[in-house]
Amino acid sequence: MLMLASLYLVSTLFAPYSPIPGILGVLYLAILVAARKARTIVLPAVVMLATLTVGFVGGLFANKANLEGGVHATNLLLPAFAVYLLGPRRALLYTLFIAVVMDGFYPLYVLRHIDLSSLPAESFSLPRFWVRHFMAGLAFLGIWGISALHSTSRDAAHHSLERALKQLRDSERKLSSIIESTDDIVVLMDTEGRLLVANSAMRNFHQRMLGLELELGQPLFRYAKPERIQLWKERLALVCEGQRLRYEETYELGDSRIVRDMSLHPILAENGRVVGVTLFARDITERKQAETRLGEMHRTLVDVSRQSGMAEVATGVLHNVGNTLNSVNISTTLVTDKLRRSRVTGLAKATGLLREHATDLAAFLTRDSQGQQLPPYLIAVSDQLVEERDAMLKEMQALAQSVEHIKSIVSMQQKHARSAGAVEQVDVPQLIDEALRLHAVSFERLAIRIVRDYADVPLIFVDRHKLLQILINLLSNARHALVDSAQEDKCLSIHVQRAAGGERLRIDVTDNGVGISAENVARLFTQGFTTKKTGHGFGLHISALAAEEMKGRLGCTSPGPGQGATFSLELPVKGESA
């Protein structure tokens, strides 16, 4: 419009016409310039439409030769411009005004001020004159309606687009805020591995690793070693096929190592085609270090627990050996006393007399008073020596039995020491009896009654040392619970039976001791937790871990304080090595 107005202005300046159109052209040109500079278009639009209206209407009333200028198609631009510049509502008032002036007032003006009789009949028809101007008025309103519908739909589409763009920008800002607020690496790549989007964590990591700024549009791993580039290409190819990958990768940064948990996911289009790849990476260095420390601590706890179990076993062995050594000491003392009081010395004196009277032995035995007493004395000494021999043989047999018992105890402990860590076929009731024998002295001293209830169970494949360690810990805990209890009839019951349809073997160790509260039952197998004043909290925790290592489970139930407790150990009947 600016260009057309400029051409019109130039044509009016050099044409032999009235200067009024040129003045209006200058005004119209100034309005167009002002409309481009103005903050709001309403005032320039009103002045522009007023100028156009004055030009069209003024020319219509001034040109008396053309009586049907009000129906010219050019006039239809006025309502279209009005809707475009002012909006549908304001443009309706303007259109009604134009329609009334050009198609109402103007025909009346023509009828009053122009002599229609002087016009040729074939060039002018009054009915056609009114019909054309009436239809022109309808056309004005029709153009306004079409323009209004177009403007409304355009504005609605524009507003809808603006709202969509605003929502998109808001979503983009929120997403960007989320991505930037995380310490995890977030990267978006195309199917060729070129970088499209990267958050600040990725930029900082790239800067720390390579000392270079991250460049968008470039391959992400172009500065990596050739073997790592090849590995990334293989991973990218798998993701472009629709797979999701997750793995751990270690990076060397100076003297330190950084371990990251990496995740690669495909970005799918509507047709299911992979159009990009997302990369998420989380720093798990501290977690890995904690896992390493935890593993070391676990090994330390296992060693401590085994040492504790060995101490328990050694204590039981020493108790049993000590008790047996008491019997050995008694037998040795009795034999020594009998030998000290033996009549062998009297027999030596009698044989000495016989040597002295060897030449006159018959006379000595028949005439001498000492010789006459010697035969009864020898008979009495012989009987006494036989009794002494029988008594000492009996004591020596007891001594031999005690020594054999000591040898069996030491041999049993050596057998357990040799079998540590080896999976073998174990007779569980027999192993329980061996564990009970290691505690036999303390159970007898504390008057603890043992009840055995062994069902007919098969041999199982387990680590004998681990199972013995668990049993010793359970028996030791039961002994402490019974010692601290005021129960007069202290009883320890051990039940062995098959469970879970015969696929598992169950060992129940039940005591009627101090019991366990409900809140402590849930924490019983936690590392470091103990209810004993001198406890360390390792035994049950390590026992539970040992049970898990043997594909079993260790649990506990208790009705409450003062009502005893039951520890249940379940183990698979068929082990991995069966």
CATH number, domain of 466, equals 3.30.565.10
pLDDT in tens, 361-371: 777 777 777 77
In this prediction, residues 467-490 reach a mean pLDDT of: 86
Burial of 460 (0-12, 13-18, 19+ CB in 10 A): buried
Q: Is 28 inside any structural domain?
A: no
Q: Is 16 inside any structural domain?
A: no
Residue 540: CA atoms inside 13 Å, Cβ hemisphere, count?
26
Q: Is 2 inside any structural domain?
A: no
Residue finishing a domain among 366, 389, 415: 415
Q: Does 153 share its domain with 190?
A: no
Q: Is 84 inside any structural domain?
A: yes
Q: Is 170 inside any structural domain?
A: no
Residue finishing a domain among 248, 283, 318: 283
Taking the C-alpha atoms of 84, 85, 90 and 92 in order, what is their torsion angle to the nearest 10 degrees?
-40
- CATH number for 257: 3.30.450.20
How far is Cα 397 from Cα 372, in angstroms, rounded to an integer? 39
The mean-pLDDT minimum among 98-107, 257-266, 534-543 falls in 534-543
The backbone torsions φ and ψ at residue 516, rounded to the nearest 5 degrees and listed phi first, read -135, 135
Q: Does 495 share its domain with 557?
A: yes
Q: Does 491 share its domain with 564?
A: yes
How many domains are contained in the chain? 4
Q: Does 388 share its domain with 353?
A: yes
In this prediction, residues 516-542 reach a mean pLDDT of: 73
pLDDT in tens, 206-240: 888 888 888 888 888 888 888 888 888 888 899 99
Q: Does 482 share its domain with 546?
A: yes
Q: Which two tokens stand for residue 469?
A: 């360690």
Q: Does 254 share its domain with 341?
A: no
Q: Does 239 share its domain with 347?
A: no
**pLDDT band at residue 64 under the 50/70/90 scheme:** low
Burial of 439 (0-12, 13-18, 19+ CB in 10 A): buried
Higher model confidence: residue 565 or residue 105?
565
User: Mean pLDDT: which of 81-95, 108-122, 187-201, 362-376 is highest?
Assistant: 187-201
State residue 499's pLDDT score. Answer: 84
Q: Does 409 share its domain with 426?
A: no
Residue numbers of the domain that contains 306: 292-415
Q: Is 410 inside any structural domain?
A: yes
Beta-carbon contacts of residue 231 (< 8 Å; ≥ 6 apart): none
Q: Does 279 share its domain with 297?
A: no
**pLDDT band at residue 576 under the 50/70/90 scheme:** very low
State residue 528's pLDDT score. Answer: 64
Q: Is 246 inside any structural domain?
A: yes
Residue finishing a domain among 161, 193, 209: 161
Report the share of the chain in percent with pLDDT over 90: 9
Taking the C-alpha atoms of 172, 205, 240 and 190 in order, what is their torsion angle to the nearest 10 degrees?
50
Q: Does 428 share its domain with 562?
A: yes
In this prediction, residues 526-547 reach a mean pLDDT of: 72
In this prediction, residues 470-481 reach a mean pLDDT of: 87
Q: Evaluate whether 396 touches 331 at the Cβ level (below 8 Å).
A: yes
The 3-state secondary structure of 368-395, one letter per residue = CHHHHHHHHHHHHHHHHHHHHHHHHHHH
Q: Is 6 inside any structural domain?
A: no
Q: Does 368 share its domain with 501?
A: no
Q: Does 298 share its domain with 409?
A: yes
Using alpha carbons, select from 67, 127, 164, 520 the residue that is nearest to residue 529.
520
